[in-house]
Amino acid sequence: MKHALNYNWSFIPNFNDEYLQNIPAGVETVDLPHNMVDFPFNYYDEKDFDSEGTYFREIVFRKIEESDKFVLRFGGVNNSFTLYINAKIVGTFTRPYMEENIDITQYIQEGTNLIVVRVNGSEKVNAPPFGNTVDYFPFSGIYREVTLFVYSALDIIDVKVSANHDGEVEVKPEIRNINKLDYDILYEVYEGTTLIASSTDAKFIVTKPKLWSINSPQLYNLVTKVTANKIVKEHVSVFGFRSAVFQSDGFYLNNEFTPLVGLNRHETYPFVGAAATSFLQFHDVVKLKELGVNYVRCSHYPPSRAFLDACDFLGLMVINEVPGWQYIGDEAWRKLHLQNIETMINRDFNRPSIIAWSIRINESADHPFYAECQKLAKALDPIRATTGTRNFAHSELFEDIYSYNDFSHDGHTKGLLPKRKVTKSNKPYIVSENNGHMYPTKPFDNPLILENHTKRHLAVLDSFFGDKNIVGISPWCMHDYYTHHEFGSGDKICYHGVLDIYREPKPAAYVYKANFTTEPVLYPLFRGDNGDLPESKLYKTMVVSNASYIDLYKDEDLVKRYYPRRDLYKHLPHPPFILDTFISENFKSAIKFSKRDRKKVTKLLNFAALNNFSRLSLWQKLRFGWLIVKYRLKWDNLVELWFLNVVGWGDKSSGYTLVGYDDNDVEIARTRIENTTASTYDIKLLKDELRNADTFDTTIVSVKSVSPYRNHYDFSPVSIVVTGPLKVYGPQTQSLHAGVLNVYVRSLNEKGRGTITIGVGGTLKTFNVEIK
């Protein structure tokens, strides 16, 4: 029997031996998941997390059978904790990021039981990933859910299911049977509520099952029934039919060649830290699917069960990874690493989304120890491939896949190294990271930096699609993330993502949307603000789109038709467009130029707009001088030409329009390029019904400053007021981050109705929320 233990814990930010006897005065009531330390958006003090806190929870057992077994599961506690029950120490557990299933049978009693959890947030622990500073921040506390399992004398502890694309099923149940009863076992497969197969054998075949895939992630329920005398026990396992095979020439999902394009992901959020609910986990998978990637690398620790639930449900493949970052410790440390491999594989064995286990410490040196890791992983799961990431070439290889962090691209070189320069192995080869720290990019950087960031992602993806020896690629990374002071930009944030820390897109994100989704994309990288550029010059700017061609209009006049630059990006499904002409022959001027001279002036203006008049060639200067003489142009005429057609390019009265078309000449998208004017605020509530179940629920209020694009220099204050059984993560006044803010709001442990009111820049909006 399963009991969620996530509501009504007591917490105090210290520890005292007296706490083992009774809950002290001065505690606050908290629910799990929970952060021990509140923190600001950035510039937090890392020393605040190097502290202790104590959690308390009373549970009551009216009757305990002698044969009962009690297991307390902690989904995740950072960074170590000591568990006490009824003033007796159960043990100290030091496995950050990992689930612990603790047998507490001998410590509980009938009546009231006091659970005390002493949590230490220090990173000075002899356990992965620690030993040296790591490039991500763990925060601290009981940051995932807690569950109590009560098993009777005859019970089902766990069931592992393997099911391939041919419908072959193999089941491995773990049965508790302390009285050694004779029992019958039955396996039933359900599609929804419909029984489609049953068997008394652990190996059986389901005829023509619907396969799990990224576009149609069909899931099934396996109901395992154990019967002895009049005792019946049932266990439900979610699984899917699919095969996932890595070969040197590619990855095959259900025998179909599938280029792997993914991103790396961390699991922290502003004001929430790592203590995210299932809704936030689900929302991250939605964001990844919106980008069009087909897999995610879980860097550098196993994610929440809820995240993987969403991957199974929505169709996102996963490379799961044990905790680690460059450092390999002593024998005790390495023993914990082996335990982490075992825990990860056992916890997530049934998931169709998981295609490989990453069992090597990220970016660590070669070590004979990895042979033992490979042996353990294959014993636990002989079907799935194993891998492990290196940051140096020609490493030893015990795993099934050679994974390498290729940071060779510097903005000018080819996107990726060829496989032969990294490894001589004939095994499959994956580029597990690239970009990232090579070009940190803030969402509020100027357009040239944002465009260079975008070009780097274009370059590595183009290289990937042009090299049949690379099976998969997962650039660094999905979103900006929290880190230590040794990394990032000084404010404890690494700005390495294609999304910002609120999971909102930077321009580079549109590279993925344009190339890997069917949603029409037409995104110019310059928005029309000349003053944001050196010398207020225009430049050859890029448009990311999946259109077949695009037309650029100035007012109602067609300036030029553009086609994808396949000469620069030969292998991408949808190369970008490059705009190099902004002024048409219908340029604005009070001077009545002849048609022939208009063509000459147009060329001169376009060149000067991109390069400045000072860079005109001698021949261009002579031609322009001749026009000045011919039309008796004065200084005011030249200023007018420049101001109306170059410096004022993109003003609202005469902006540019981009129109994208498909192969059938049908318009698929249209967008404007114009100077930023007054901001408008787009405020949306993602869901208005919160459901308290095993733990509390969360919603997001999205606040965006647009005109018509994201106003990435808008840091306006935002006021947040909630009523009813709701609570805001963070302060009641927060700031836009480069024009966006996601306000995270959680439910309290009661039913009712509440409101969320957002105020920003003179705009006020109230949402009604129901808590069930």
C-alpha closest to that of 429 among 457, 458, 388, 459: 388
305: three-class secondary structure by DSSP: helix
414: three-class secondary structure by DSSP: coil
Tokens of 652: 């609202």
C-alpha closest to that of 431 among 464, 465, 394, 458: 464
Distance between CA atoms of 407 and 441, rounded to whole angstroms?
Answer: 16
Cis amide leading into 79 (omega within 30): yes
Q: Which residues are catalytic?
A: 363, 433
| Beta-ladder partners of 554 | 557, 656
Distance between CA atoms of 263 and 316, rounded to whole angstroms?
Answer: 11
> Which residues are CB-contacts of 148 (< 8 A; sequence separation ≥ 6)?
2, 3, 5, 59, 70, 71, 72, 73
Distance between CA atoms of 81 and 156, rounded to whole angstroms?
Answer: 28
Distance between CA atoms of 288 and 115, rounded to whole angstroms?
Answer: 39
Radius of gyration of the chain (CA): 30
Which segments within 548-654 are labelled E, that is strand?
Answer: 549-554, 557-562, 577-579
3-state secondary structure 120-172: ECCCCCCCCCCCCCCCCCCCCEECCCEEEEEECCEEEEEEEEEECCCCEEEEE
Distance between CA atoms of 551 and 594, rounded to whole angstroms?
Answer: 26
Bridge-based pairing of strands 2-4 and 146-151 is antiparallel
Distance between CA atoms of 169 and 206, rounded to whole angstroms?
Answer: 7
* Half-sphere exposure (Cβ direction) of 730: Cα atoms closer than 13 Å: 21
Distance between CA atoms of 510 and 524, rounded to whole angstroms?
Answer: 10
Find where tokens 């060149």 sit.
Answer: 607
Tokens of 428: 């499959």
Distance between CA atoms of 302 and 281, rounded to whole angstroms?
Answer: 13
| Residue 322 parent element (H or E) | none
Instruction: Indicate the residue type of 548.
Output: S
Distance between CA atoms of 462 and 494, rounded to whole angstroms?
Answer: 25
φ and ψ of 605, to 5 deg:
-65, -40
Distance between CA atoms of 271 and 756, rounded to whole angstroms?
Answer: 17
Which segments within 229-334 are labelled E, that is strand?
Answer: 231-239, 244-247, 250-253, 256-257, 260-265, 295-298, 317-321
User: What single string gives the DSSP state of each residue in 188-213?
Assistant: EEEETTEEEEEESSSEEE-SSPPBB-
Tokens of 145: 């859910």
Distance between CA atoms of 582 and 649, rounded to whole angstroms?
Answer: 8
Distance between CA atoms of 128 and 359, rounded to whole angstroms?
Answer: 12
Tokens of 186: 């039955």
